[in-house]
Amino acid sequence: VPPTMVTKLRSRLAMQALLAVRDPACVIDKMQRTPQLRDMQLYLGGGALASDDFNRANNADLGVNWDAGYTGYGALTLESNAVRLTALDTTAVESYNAVSLPNNQWVQMTLATIAGTVANYPAVRLRMAAPPTNTWYQYVAEINDATKKSTIAKIVAGTYTLLASENATVWASGDVIRGEAVDSAIALYRNGSQTALLTVTDSSVASGRAGIGSYMSPGGTLSNSVYDNWSAGPSTLSRLAAMGMG
Instruction: Please tell me the predicted confidence (pLDDT) of residue 46.
Output: 52
Q: Supply angle C-alpha 195, 168, 84, rounded to 5.
A: 85
Task: Tell me the angle at which helices 24-33 and 3-18 cross, rounded to the nearest 10 degrees.
Answer: 150
Instruction: Indicate the pTM of the whole model.
Output: 0.80
Task: Report the chain (246 residues): mean pLDDT per 10 consecutive residues.
Answer: 46 46 42 44 60 97 98 97 97 97 97 96 98 98 96 98 97 97 96 95 98 97 97 72 41
Instruction: Please tell me the predicted confidence (pLDDT) of residue 235.
Output: 87
Q: What is the DSSP secondary structure assignment for residue 15, as one 8-state letter?
A: H
- Shortest CA distance to 61 belongs to which of 86, 80, 25? 86
Q: Which helix (H) or strand (E) holds 161?
A: strand 159-166
